[in-house]
């Protein structure tokens, strides 16, 4: 369930929360930073991976309410090589006040240096702000919650053309059996049900990893997903060669290895850039494509008047649940913020990041979604409102698995394994090779 809360109520609640943590006004004065230079206690540095002007502007705009109400000044610094630089800074003892990680796995590398957010925010409050799964993904194996989530993307989507569906007399499937039946019906009618272009240079195959991860969430437990992506005990890791993971690959293969199911066949899948995902739907060459909430942005240059929605050029539906016992999970990406300097102004920024108000400008700009339970669906445009509902109604969420795994796997053998599998190689040796690459 979501709640629609008026802005003035949010501000009152937020003011009370700040007062409970030491007052609405941040402390003033200067201290010395790691380099011995004076530091304004009221200025909070947030270091992140956003560098695109639109993304940065929307992120900075989100703090205007906080800055007006408290006197805190947020200084955002973005870097395209964030992953390298943030590690260098933390390891050198010069971390930013707050770091915004696009991957929770990278954040957890620096768990010892991070502040446990439950030392100044009540767990009950956080549980009201987030689906429990978001909190789980920000918590270490020993129970230290080292981050809060602020912006999100949804990957569990299937895109289609409403006009093409209407002309053919097809209904949007809401169950797995309906999706399979629709796929076969389109073939029987002489069409191509799916389009799945994956070419991405050295990263070719990542589109297939999203298929596998989404299927894993629908066919096995969250515990198994976590054992597969982020094992606490190396001896308890769920292997790629396990029955659970192999099953997910084979279900993907039932779709993408069937030449009748995929427009252009396997050759098109591996050789066509993933940026073209929506093109075949618009041009009427295929009916469905599984891709994330960011997909329309790839089409903006060639289709500047593209519309999204039930009456638009493209629309989407939730990638259906497969086994009832695992509910309706959602595969996500997003940003999680970790704190490295425990002072009042930094606490205030972290607290504010836990509210939907902090991401409202990005929502209204159509840039990102919100993981917060207090988000107002009225803030979203028609294109994103349905996606926001999918995220809010999720029984569970889990982060993109390949981004959680060691780079030797998630950004290498997992991708190449998908390419090999779709090229016709035997699955067993592929899975064994991926397991052997795990460091």
- 0.75 exceeded by the pTM? yes
Distance CA 75, CA 65 (A): 15
The answer to whether 253 and 276 have CB atoms below 8 angstroms apart is no
Tokens 């993904």, residue located: 137
Task: Name the residue among 10, 23, 15, 24 with its Cα closest to residue 128.
Answer: 10
Percent of the chain with pLDDT over 70: 91
Amino acid 37: pLDDT: 52
What are the start-end ranges of the H helices in 95-205? 104-108, 123-129, 132-137, 162-168, 176-188
Say if residue 109 is exposed, middle or buried (CB neighbours under 10 Å; 0-12, 13-18, 19+). Answer: middle
Cβ atoms within 10 Å of 28's Cβ, excluding its own:
10
Rg, Å, the chain Cα set: 22
> 232-266 in b/e burial notation, b at 16+ Cβ within 10 A?
eeeeebbbbbbebbbebbebbbebbbeeebbbbeb
The two tokens of residue 428 are 């067993």
The answer to whether 406 and 230 have CB atoms below 8 angstroms apart is no
Task: Name the residue among 86, 64, 69, 67 with its Cα closest to residue 16.
Answer: 69
pLDDT in tens, the chain (439 residues): 333 333 333 333 344 344 444 444 444 445 555 455 556 899 999 999 999 998 999 999 999 999 999 999 999 999 999 999 999 999 999 999 999 999 898 999 999 999 999 999 999 999 999 999 999 999 999 999 999 999 999 999 999 999 999 999 999 999 999 999 999 999 999 999 999 999 999 999 999 999 999 999 999 999 999 999 999 999 999 999 999 999 999 999 999 999 999 999 988 999 999 999 999 999 999 999 999 999 999 999 999 999 999 999 999 999 999 999 999 999 999 999 999 999 999 999 999 999 999 999 999 988 889 999 999 999 999 899 999 999 999 999 999 999 999 999 999 999 999 999 999 999 999 999 999 999 9
In degrees rounded to 5, what are phi and psi of residue 84? -75, -45
Please give the angle made by the CA atoms of 301, 299 and 413, to the nearest 5 degrees: 120
Amino acid 4: pLDDT: 33
Cβ atoms within 10 Å of 359's Cβ, excluding its own:
27
The answer to whether 402 and 410 have CB atoms below 8 angstroms apart is yes
Instruction: Delineate the domains of the chain, giving CATH numbers in brackets.
Output: 7-151+333-388 (3.40.190.10), 157-330+400-437 (3.40.190.10)
DSSP SS3 for 77: strand
Amino acid 40: pLDDT: 82
């Amino acid at each position: 369930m979501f709640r629609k809360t008026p802005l003035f109520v949010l501000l009152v609640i937020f003011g009370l929360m700040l007062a409970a943590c030491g007052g609405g006004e941040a402390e003033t004065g200067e201290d010395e930073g790691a380099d011995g230079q004076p530091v304004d206690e009221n200025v909070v540095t947030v270091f992140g991976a956003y560098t695109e002007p639109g993304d940065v502007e929307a992120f900075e705009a989100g703090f205007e309410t906080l800055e007006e109400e408290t006197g805190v000044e947020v200084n955002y610094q973005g870097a395209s090589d964030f992953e390298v630089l943030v590690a260098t800074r933390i390891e050198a003892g010069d971390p930013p006040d707050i770091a915004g990680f696009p991957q929770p796995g990278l954040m957890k590398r620096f768990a010892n240096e991070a502040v446990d957010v439950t030392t100044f925010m009540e767990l009950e409050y956080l549980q009201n702000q987030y689906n429990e799964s978001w909190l789980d993904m920000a918590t270490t194996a020993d129970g230290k919650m080292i981050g809060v989530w602020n912006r999100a993307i949804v990957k569990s989507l299937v895109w289609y053309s409403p006009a093409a569906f209407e002309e053919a007399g097809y209904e949007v499937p809401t169950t797995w059996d309906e999706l399979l039946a629709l796929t076969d019906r389109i073939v029987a009618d002489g069409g191509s049900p799916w389009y799945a272009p994956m070419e991405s240079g050295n990263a070719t195959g990542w589109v297939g990893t999203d298929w596998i991860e989404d299927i894993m969430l629908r066919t096995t437990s969250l515990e198994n997903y976590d054992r597969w992506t982020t094992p606490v005990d190396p001896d308890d890791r769920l292997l790629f060669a396990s029955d659970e993971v192999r099953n997910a690959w084979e279900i993907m293969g039932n779709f993408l290895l069937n030449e009748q199911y995929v427009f252009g066949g396997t050759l098109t899948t591996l050789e066509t850039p993933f940026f073209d995902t929506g093109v075949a739907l618009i041009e009427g060459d295929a009916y469905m494509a599984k891709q994330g909430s960011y997909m329309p942005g790839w089409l903006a240059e060639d289709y500047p008047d593209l519309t999204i929605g039930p009456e638009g050029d493209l629309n989407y539906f939730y990638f259906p649940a497969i086994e009832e016992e695992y509910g309706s999970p959602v595969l996500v990406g997003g940003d999680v913020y970790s704190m490295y300097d425990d002072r009042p102004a930094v606490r205030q920024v972290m607290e504010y990041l836990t509210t939907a108000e902090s991401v409202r400008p990005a929502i209204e700009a159509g840039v990102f979604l919100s993981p917060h339970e207090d988000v107002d669906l009225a803030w979203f445009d028609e294109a994103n409102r349905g996606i926001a509902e999918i995220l809010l109604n999720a029984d569970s969420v889990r982060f993109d698995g390949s981004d959680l795994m060691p780079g030797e796997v998630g950004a290498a053998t997992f991708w190449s394994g998908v390419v090999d599998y779709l090229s016709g190689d035997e699955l067993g040796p592929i899975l064994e090779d991926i397991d052997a690459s795990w460091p």
